[in-house]
A and B are shown apart, each in its own frame.
Chain A
Amino acid sequence: GAVVSQHPSWVICKSGTSVKIECRSLDFQATTMFWYRQFPKQSLMLMATSNEGSKATYEQGVEKDKFLINHASLTLSTLTVTSAHPEDSSFYICSAYLRLAGVVNEQFFGPGTRLTVL
């Protein structure tokens, strides 16, 4: 089956520092990846759509200068949280979109990255 990995699985950082999270599709190419944020006991909220070779599309209310997304290859998207603050502490989950010609369109989720900003 389609496998998506994320790295790191958890990170603790000081306020004001930047944190990079990687999302990789291990056994398929994904032209589109998605980044979600999930606060405790809440739903997944889509932050942005990452398209290989082009700029990411951000959802309303998400600061593109704070959450930098780079989708440089068909198997890797990165999310950089710049100048992180305690309110950015959350569970960040990526997904990779697999499209099989004429058949299934499905998102496969990474295991998530728990970010704690002190």
Chain B
Amino acid sequence: GENVEQHPSTLSVQEGDSAVIKCTYSDSASNYFPWYKQELGKRPQLIIDIRSNVGEKKDQRIAVTLNKTAKHFSLHITETQPEDSAVYFCAASTGEGFQKLVFGTGTRLLVSP
């Protein structure tokens, strides 16, 4: 089955710096890769996603890149702000119809003012 690895587990940056989180997946058939932000005790919130027919997608300060050959995808946050502090999870679709998601282990991002 699908296996998703995520690095780093924790990431501390200064406000205004960029943050990069990387994920690798094992199932070459996966075709949907969402990223979620989760604050303590809250539900995961989709912040950006990318599908296998696209190599890069950007939404304001957030961007995601996908390398299908290498089976890895990355989240890039520019001009970080303290409110970006949270746990970020990557995920990859799998299973029949590719509706199921397998989540990475999470990255705790801390943005210091």
Interface positions of A (Cβ within 8 A of B): 32, 34, 42-46, 49, 91, 93, 97, 105-107, 109-112, 114
A43→B105 contact, CB < 8 A? yes
Q: Does B71 contact A (CB under 8 A)?
A: no
* Distance (whole angstroms) from the CB of B89 to the closest CB of chain A: 6
On chain B, the residues within 8 Å of A111 by CB distance are 42-43
Chain A residues with Cβ below 8 Å from B44 are: 44, 93, 109
Q: Is the interface of A mostly helix, strand, loop or mixed?
A: strand
Known: A32-B99, A44-B89, A46-B100. A106 touches B105 (CB 8 A): no
A107 in contact with B43 (CB, 8 Å): no
How many residues of chain B are within 8 Å of chain A by beta carbon? 20
Q: Report Cα–Cα, A46/B41, bound state, in Å.
A: 18
Enumerate chain B residues within 8 angstroms of A34, measured Cβ to Cβ. Answer: 100-101
A109 to B106 Cα, complex, angstroms? 17
A58 to chain B, nearest CB (A): 12
A-B interface contact total, Cβ < 8 Å:
43
Residues of B within 8 A of A (CB): 32, 34, 41-46, 49, 89, 95, 98-106
A105: min CB distance to chain B, Å: 7
Also in contact, A112 and B42, with CB within 8 A (given A43-B104, A43-B105, A105-B32): yes
- B42 adjacent to A106 (CB under 8 Å): no
A43 and B99 form a contact (CB under 8 A): no
> In whole angstroms, what is the CA distance A32 to B101 when docked?
13
Q: How far is the CA of A104 from the CA of B106 in the complex (A)?
A: 24
> How far apart sit A43 and B105, CA to CA, in the bound complex (Å)?
5
Beyond the given A49-B100, A107-B99, A109-B43, could you list 11 further A-B residue pairs with CB under 8 A, ordered by the A residue number?
A: A32-B99, A42-B106, A43-B106, A44-B103, A46-B100, A91-B41, A105-B32, A105-B98, A106-B34, A106-B49, A112-B42
